[in-house]
Structures are given as structure tokens and as C-alpha cells.
Structure 1
Amino acid sequence: METELFIGGKWVPASSSSRFDVLDPATGDTIASVADGSEADAIAAVDAAAAAGPAWAATPPRVRAEVLRKAFTLMTERADELAKLISLENGKALVDAKGEVTYAAEFFRWYSEEAVRAEGALATAPSGANRILVTRQPVGVCVLVTPWNFPAAMATRKIGPALAAGCTMILKPASDTPLTALAMAAILAEAGVPDGVVNVLPSRSSGKVVSQMLRDSRVRKLSFTGSTEVGRILLAQAAENVVNTSMELGGNAPFLVFADADLDAAIEGAMIAKMRNGGEACTAANRFFVESSIADEFSRRLAQRMSALVVGPGTDEKTQVGPLVNEDTVAKVDGLVRSALDAGAEAVTGGSRPEGPGFYYPPTVLTGVAPDSAILREEIFGPVAPIVTFTSEDEAVRLANDTEYGLVAYVYTGDLARGLRVSEAIEAGMVGLNRGLVSDPAAPFGGVKQSGIGREGGHEGLLEYLESKYIAVSW
């Protein structure tokens, strides 16, 4: 298990010799001590990325593609090992961790295929005076900031297109889950990524080290996945040097169930949309809006399924719901539930934090939730499903759009025309229509409103790391 910084193709201690502990969320015990990168280390990482930039940008796309394909192969071969590491430091159930590794590896495979497709364009100017030649060039040195909830997938979703485009980068992983990012660095080096192209900088001083890099004129791209609150701060800092930015921020996903929906399919979709990763996902269904005539039946069946889930340490093969990542997260979830209960909601199952070690919270279904409850306004990031009823399509759409966020929404109905109509009316970058999962490396992932800027995945994800250069030419 690597625990040092990865800069310039070498494992190096922090310049200050400082380190920080990584905890097991199931017990609160320390599982590793990791080098704590400083602002000086951040500049050293930028130095390495800038030095490696010209050669990597000039590397033929097919060569870059083969490196990414090798990284995919290595990740797939070591899937069990990586899944155990993710479960250990993140807490998620092993079944979720295995799913994440498969998903994460697919970004390397997808972008190994996209690396050779950074096509340009050639056209004749309308006046006929010249040709318009458009070519694509790598944006340059990138700072990639990733969260703790998907420590492998959020890294590969950024690293994959950046490498395919010919960019070099510094990955700043979340300090709760740095071990997976360091393991990814080792895999990429083994796959043939040249020294300095990918640098990994764990740090407890996230704000300081990222700000230091954004102030460096050699940094030309920031890609951030995390909270909207932090995203606003980083956007302001990026503006100082007019740094190209991609932002995948918070979510408050509505899950709409109409009376004509296939209820079996809606329950299955709800379990995926709510309980994938134990609810610790920006795509997690956060607000359940159910047509009043079927609300009691839906609530009863969802509670039955949620209460049957096995809660335990993520590394246990039998576990279906692991602990939340840290004390702050479980305390926030508990506070939101308590506030809703105090305002008149009823817990059909769950609803209170268990005693004992570890950061656990039970799967919870709430009914009778007041429309102004904080639990409907804030991203829960836990295994809690608050249910609100509606009586008309217009009301359902209004409730779904009553949020500053717009990442993803889920709609269940037996009427395709209604489904498409509602999908168009909902203010979200993605919609799962009769489907509880939207994430796919081949699809453009991202939100509207305060859920983000830009897209990750698909061909759009590659274009986020390329600049278009127009050349006016006559011949």
C-alpha cells in the first residue's frame, strides 16, 4: 500500500514530513498514515506536470489510447484488491465497491477509444475568401479535485479524458479516501504513463494547496467534483487567472412515481437510485414524490425492502449497507431526520442512529414530511428516503423543480408521452425514465442550475480537456 505523494513518477514524502491518518469508518480506527502535501508540494507537482506536458501532448493518440487500455486491463485484473481497499477506507459495502471498480475501469476503456477521435473540422468561409480550419489541442496542465464517495470512479472519470486529450495533471483526492487514488497512480505508472503526466497529491490542507495551484499561470484547467458550496469558492479563485473549469456539484434528485407506473419496477428503481453506495452519491434519489393514490402502498413496500438490508462493515461479504464515511456525515444525516420527525414526519422504518462504534445509520423511510423540511432542501448523503405526495402532473413537476440543484431526476410512469413530457419539464441535466441508474461512461454526465458546469463522460467529456483552435487559411 503506497502512502507517499506521487510526483514526477516518484513516491516522495511531504516536504514538511507531515502525515495524516486515514480511518476505517466501520470502527473509527486508523488504517494508514499518508503523506500530507503542502503548498510547496503542490508547486512541485505543477512543475512536474508542466515539464511533462509538451512530450505527452505530442504523443500519438494511438499510443495514448494503448496506455489507457492497459490501465483498464490492470484495473480489471485487480478488481477484488481495489474493491477491498475502497471498502476499507470509504466504508461502502463490498458489493458496491466491486461495482465502482467495474464502472471506474470503464472510463479508461471508453477514453482509450475516444483518444483517436479528437476530430477537427474544415469548411469554406461563406464569402469564399478562405478556408476555416479547426483543430483540437490539449488544454494543458489540469488540477483534478475528487470526492470521497467514489474514490476510484471520480478519479478515472477525469484522468481518462485528460490523458486521452494529451493533458498532464495533478490529482487532489479527498483526504478521507486517499489510498485508492494512490493505488490508481501505481496502476497508471505500470500501464506506461510517463513520469510527471499524472501526479497525486493527498493533503489535509485542500483549500490551500488547490488555491496555490490555481494561482500558477501554468495551470489551465480545473475539474472539481464536490459540494456546491466549495464549487462556488473554486470558481471565484479560478476566475483570477481565467482558468477553464468543469464543475460537478451537489444534487437534490427528485424521484417521481405516477399512479400508472409499474410499481414493482418503481420499487426496484428506488432501491438503486436511493441505496447505491448507501445513499452517499450526488445522483442519489433525495426526494420521493409519489401520487397520493399509491403513496401508502409505495411507502410500505419501500420500507419493507429497506428494512431487510443487512447493515455492517463494508468489508464483510454479507453487508449490503456499510457505515457512512465519517462522523460529520452521520451527524448531518441524523440531524436532518430528527428535524423532519420533530416537524411531524413519521419513520416507517429506521429513523434513529444506533449506539456503538462506527459511523452507521440505518436505512430509513419517512412519510408525512413537511414541504419546508430541511431534508427536502439539503443533500442528504445517507440511506434516508423522505416521501411526499402529489395529486397532479403539474404539481409533481413544480415540486421536482423547487430546488437550487439540477443534477438528475427519476420518473416512473406507464405513459411514455407523459414520461417524455415530464422529463423535458424537469430542470435537470440527466433523467432516468423508468430507470434508477443513469451513470454510464459513454453518456454526458452533469447538471444544470447550481449542480454544475460542463459534462463528464461520453465524447463531451473528452472535449472538456481540448481547446478549439481556428486557422484561417487560403490555398
Structure 2
Amino acid sequence: MAAVCNGKLEDSFMVPEIKFTKLFINGDFVDSVSGKTYETIDPRSGEPTARIAEGDKEDVDLAVKAAREAFDNGPWPRFPGPGRRRLMMKLADLIDESVEEIAALEALDAGKLFHWLKAVDIPVVAETLRYYAGAADKIHGETLKMTRELQGYTLREPIGVVGIIIPWNYPSNLLFLKVGPALAAGCTVVIKPAEQTPLTALYFAHLAKKAGIPDGVFNVVPGYGHTAGAAISSHMEIDKVTFTGSTEVGRLVMEAAARSNLKPVSLELGGKNPFIVFDDADVDTAADLVLQGSLFNKGEVCVASSRIFVQEGIYEEFSNKLVEMAKTWVVGDPFDPRSNQGPQVDKKQYDKILSYIEIGKAEGATLLTGGKPCGDRGYYIEPTVFSNVKDDMRIAKEEIFGPVISLMKFKTVEEAIRRANATEYGLAAGILTNDLNIANTVSRSIRAGVIWINCYRAFDIDCPYGGYKMSGFGRDFGMQALDQYLQVKSVVTPLYNSPWL
């Protein structure tokens, strides 16, 4: 028996009306310059849900022009901090008031679990806005103690127009991880949501207008990466680009930014994250943490724990327990409250994951459970667990971004550290042990931006998040995120009787 497949569409929930399908530029919903549109697809069925205006270079130019005018001559960067804070708080309140509709749009767009979106993800969006709104009136420079007869101080000023390119796995949360600090700093933004998941970004644009965010500050241009995304990355009038997505596309964003106006870039990219389970761990707890860390959001998570290193003393017991739990995992309609896992975001991702499962079998890994599609419609895949995985297998090296778990046995602490670090990525890692010395040694030794000890996916808005190596650079979350949207200006004047006079 594999996972519980419940492929029936949930009829008890009314699919929300899709109200906003056009570009949002300078405070208005508008058609694309070309008039082109594209279809978004319901991953539950593979059927179309809406036609969305398709932004291109000309539309990005218009959005940047509006954002540039709003930054150079508009009120937003010139508001006292409390003014920005007040409007950001109002937007957060409007998000809270619309939580059910926003959650339904994201479930329909991305195949994410509606009950989780409603209870957690969308409320966290509002709290993220409030967190950074609280910082809007606390941005200040420093008085410098100069070594010569000079007086100096620094100003922290908004960097300007920010291009924001977000992926499809967390369309709302990742949007406001970037929009929140950018708006608090006084920047204006041009947002390109993933072409698969534009509905919530457009809805947020409507709420931003309703909250009183000035025209031109918040612009949304849906479209494809090679057109709209490329235009943002290379635009001479955009002052900074922030991108979350694949390492491959991150390279293209960075190259385009360098070749244009050398704009700064922050990148949160892929991961192939190790979770190291030591012999002294409770097996039931370990299996549950690994299952949640690997399969949450159908494995479409940059920090998914996809490489599981288990010490040899409990390897067999752990494997059996993990398989037992995986077989109770319910794969079904994201609007069904019984579901643990919805469909993959689109057919391309669905096919990619299934191809990796075939690669794993061909390379000699042992398939313990899963490995097949769920149901006869939509993009559902069974939770899949491989054992006897070798470090050089593709399923152990390459980011799959789906519900696939690779189990690997190790003997010593030193071996676990060496093998955990044997990856081009460095986003996150998990450690499960009751030995404080092991926990401290391993956490200091693994080259990754986030280390979770005896927990996993323990995110918090106050805790910086970002990667090492090919997982990117720059940090979201926390007050450090503000630094990405601010410039430091030094101001120097001579003192009385200074030789500089």
C-alpha cells in the first residue's frame, strides 16, 4: 500500500470569483500593450481557470516609468516614517479581512492546502507587513567620531525602484517578505509573479490601492520569465532586483543586472538540504519531523529536507517508521480538510518529479513506497521514499522540488558533516540529537544559512533566512532584510578652525 490517494474534487467549497486578471500599473488595472493573454491552469484538474494579461518588455517599461516617477517625485519616499507605517498597517488589516478569498485564490492557483493557507500562510503575510511597518519610523543613520577635525554622520536612504521576481511555491509569503521591507524603506516596486500563480499578487494590488498606497508605488506585471522577468532584470531604471527561484534563473538575473546598470541583486535560490538523524534520537519524532520537512507543500519548498542521513544504529527502524507514516499521508484536493498534500503546481513540475523517480530506480536506489501518480486527473504524486541512496546519484545531488525522500546511512559525526557539505547548495540543514556537543559541533560545521536543531522549517519573521554557495546571497526576514533596500550616505563637514576650511 502507498499513500492514501483521494483524487476527488472537493465540491463543498465554492471556487472564488476571479476578479483581477489585468496588469496593475500606476494605480490602475490595464491590458497589456500587446493585448496578449495567457491561461492559468487549475492543478487539481489540469483545466484552465482564468485568462491573465501577459506583460512584456513594453509593459515593464510602463510600470518602471510609474515607479520611477513615484519614487523621484511622489510622496512615498518623502512620507515621515509614521505615514508609511500607517498605510502598511491598513493594508495588513485589509489582508486579514480578505483572508478566506486570498487563501482560496492561492489554493486554486498553486495547489496549496486551503485550510493551511487560511490558518497560517495568509495571516503570516499580514503579520510580515506589520513587522516591517513597525520599522518604517526607526530607520536612521549614525553620528561618526571622526579621527580628524571633521564632523560626520550617515543617512540611510531608500535605494529606489525595486524589481521583485517571485516563484510559484509561496506566492503570497515570498511577495511580502520582499515588499514589506522595500515599502518600509520608502522604495517603490515592480513585481513579476510567477506565470503559474498571478492571482494573489493582483488581488494584493487591489488591496494596496484600497489602503491608500500612492499610485506608482505598487505595480504588478504578470508574464513569463524570459520576457517580463528578463526586462526587469536588465532595466536601466530599476535600482535593485530581488529574486527567489532556481539557481539556473538566478544566474540569468545576476548577469542581466550586471550588464545593465550594475544594480545590486539579492538571490534566494535552490537547496538540497540535509537532515541528520543521530542514533540517540527518538525514532517516532524523527520520522514525523522528516516527513513534514520533506513533504510539506508537496515538497515544493526550497528548504525541503530531501537528503536524510540516518546513523546506522537506527537506520532500519527509522526507515520502517517513515514508510509506515508515509502510507497514511493523504494526497487529495487542497480544498479538502483531510488532505495532507495537494497537486504539484503544473504539468511541467509533475513530469519533472516523475522523471526523477524513474532516474532513482534506474540508478539502483531502493523504492520503499510511492513513486506513482495519484488518481486519474490533475498533478498528484504519491509521497516517495528511496533507501540505499548513494551520494553520487542524481536524486541525491539535484533539486527535485517534489515529494521525494532519499535515505542514506552514516557511521560517524565526521562522516555526516563531510557528506552533508558535499553539495553545491547551502540553504538549510536539520540536526536531530540529544547530545549538545554533537549539535553544536555539527551546526558550526555545516555550510548553510539556516540550521535547525531538533526541529525543522522553524521559520520566524525575526530570524534572518538565506543561503550559502549556490543557494544565493542576501537575507530575507529580520531587520537585516531592510539593509537590502537602503543606501548609506555619508555627510562630512569641517569643524571650526579645521585645516579643511
Name the TM tier (shorter chain).
over 0.9
Instruction: List aligned pairs for 1:137-152, cutoff 5 A.
Output: 137-152=157-172
Q: Which residue of 2 aligns with 1:271?
A: 291
Instruction: List aligned pairs for 1:19-34, cutoff 5 A.
Output: 19-34=37-52
Q: Which residue of 1 aligns with 2:9?
A: none
Letter of the structure 1 residue corresponding to residue 127 of structure 2:
E
Instruction: List aligned pairs for 1:277-316, cutoff 5 A.
Output: 277-316=297-336
SS at match of 1:156: helix
Q: Which residue of 1 aligns with 2:181?
A: 161
SS at match of 1:74: helix
Q: Which residue of 1 aligns with 2:130?
A: 109
**Kept after mapping to 1: 8 A contact 2:391/2:397:** no
Q: Which residue of 2 aligns with 1:51?
A: 69
Give the distance between the partners of 1:403 and 1:158, measured in 2 at CA.
27
- Worse-matched range after superposition: 354-363 or 83-92: 354-363
Alpha-carbon offset, residue 327 of structure 1: 1.1
1:182-213 per-residue CA deviation (whole Å, 9 max, x = no partner) reads: 11111222222111100000013x22223333
1:73 is aligned, of 71, 80, 93, to 93
Alpha-carbon offset, residue 141 of structure 1: 0.5
Q: Which residue of 2 aligns with 1:16?
A: 34
Say whether 1:470 aligns with 2:480. no
Say whether 1:209 aligns with 2:228. yes
2:111 is aligned, of 62, 69, 91, to 91
1:299-325 per-residue CA deviation (whole Å, 9 max, x = no partner) reads: 111122221111112122222110101
Alpha-carbon offset, residue 95 of structure 1: 3.1
- Tell which structure's C-alpha radius of gyration is larger: 2
SS at match of 1:135: strand
SS at match of 1:148: coil
Say whether 1:328 aligns with 2:348. yes
Letter of the structure 2 residue corresponding to residue 327 of structure 1:
K
**Kept after mapping to 1: 8 A contact 2:113/2:341:** yes
Q: Which residue of 2 aligns with 1:413?
A: 433
SS at match of 2:294: helix
Alpha-carbon offset, residue 111 of structure 1: 0.5
Instruction: List aligned pairs for 1:149-228, cutoff 5 A.
Output: 149-204=169-224, 206-228=225-247
Give the distance between the partners of 1:265 and 1:414, measured in 2 at CA.
12
SS at match of 2:400: coil
1:416-438 per-residue CA deviation (whole Å, 9 max, x = no partner) reads: 12112101100101111111123
1:353 is aligned, of 370, 373, 384, to 373
Letter of the structure 2 residue corresponding to residue 376 of structure 1:
A
Alpha-carbon offset, residue 35 of structure 1: 0.4
2:279 is aligned, of 256, 259, 265, to 259
Q: CA-atom RMSD, angstroms? A: 1.3
Instruction: List aligned pairs for 1:295-444, cutoff 5 A.
Output: 295-354=315-374, 356-444=376-464
Alpha-carbon offset, residue 38 of structure 1: 1.6
Q: Structure 1 unaligned segments of length 5 or more: list them.
A: none
Q: Which residue of 1 aligns with 2:145?
A: 124
Q: Structure 2 unaligned segments of length 5 or more: list them.
A: 1-18, 496-501
Give the distance between the partners of 1:224 and 1:391, measured in 2 at CA.
39
2:254 is aligned, of 231, 235, 240, to 235
Give the distance between the partners of 1:138 and 1:303, measured in 2 at CA.
51
Alpha-carbon offset, residue 51 of structure 1: 0.8
SS at match of 1:219: coil
| Cα distance change on mapping 1:229 and 1:50 into 2, 3 Å | same
- Worse-matched range after superposition: 110-119 or 6-15: 110-119
- Worse-matched range after superposition: 438-447 or 165-174: 438-447
Give the distance between the partners of 1:81 and 1:149, measured in 2 at CA.
18
Alpha-carbon offset, residue 332 of structure 1: 1.3
- Worse-matched range after superposition: 296-305 or 268-277: 268-277
Alpha-carbon offset, residue 93 of structure 1: 1.8
SS at match of 1:23: strand
Alpha-carbon offset, residue 33 of structure 1: 0.6
| Cα distance change on mapping 1:473 and 1:53 into 2, 3 Å | same
Letter of the structure 1 residue corresponding to residue 475 of structure 2:
R
Letter of the structure 2 residue corresponding to residue 366 of structure 1:
F
1:203-230 per-residue CA deviation (whole Å, 9 max, x = no partner) reads: 13x2222333344332100000000000
Give the distance between the partners of 2:314 and 2:80, measured in 1 at CA.
58
**Kept after mapping to 1: 8 A contact 2:115/2:335:** no
SS at match of 2:331: coil
Letter of the structure 2 residue corresponding to residue 103 of structure 1:
V
1:445-467 per-residue CA deviation (whole Å, 9 max, x = no partner) reads: 10010101110110111111001
Give the distance between the partners of 2:183 and 2:33, measured in 1 at CA.
27
Give the distance between the partners of 1:298 and 1:380, measured in 2 at CA.
23
Letter of the structure 2 residue corresponding to residue 363 of structure 1:
P
- Worse-matched range after superposition: 354-363 or 9-18: 354-363
Give the distance between the partners of 2:272 and 2:233, measured in 1 at CA.
29
**Kept after mapping to 2: 8 A contact 1:172/1:202:** yes
**Kept after mapping to 1: 8 A contact 2:40/2:51:** yes
Give the distance between the partners of 1:188 and 1:306, measured in 2 at CA.
41
Q: Which residue of 2 aligns with 1:39?
A: 57
Q: Which residue of 1 aligns with 2:474?
A: 454
- Worse-matched range after superposition: 154-163 or 49-58: 49-58
Q: Which residue of 1 aligns with 2:14?
A: none
1:228-260 per-residue CA deviation (whole Å, 9 max, x = no partner) reads: 000011111111211011101111111110111
Alpha-carbon offset, residue 272 of structure 1: 2.6
TM-score between the two structures when normalised by the length of structure 2? 0.92
- Worse-matched range after superposition: 307-316 or 448-457: 307-316
**Kept after mapping to 2: 8 A contact 1:443/1:457:** yes
Give the distance between the partners of 1:262 and 1:175, measured in 2 at CA.
43
- Worse-matched range after superposition: 389-398 or 62-71: 62-71
Letter of the structure 2 residue corresponding to residue 439 of structure 1:
F
SS at match of 1:6: strand
1:138-195 per-residue CA deviation (whole Å, 9 max, x = no partner) reads: 0000100000000101111111011000000100000000001111111222222111
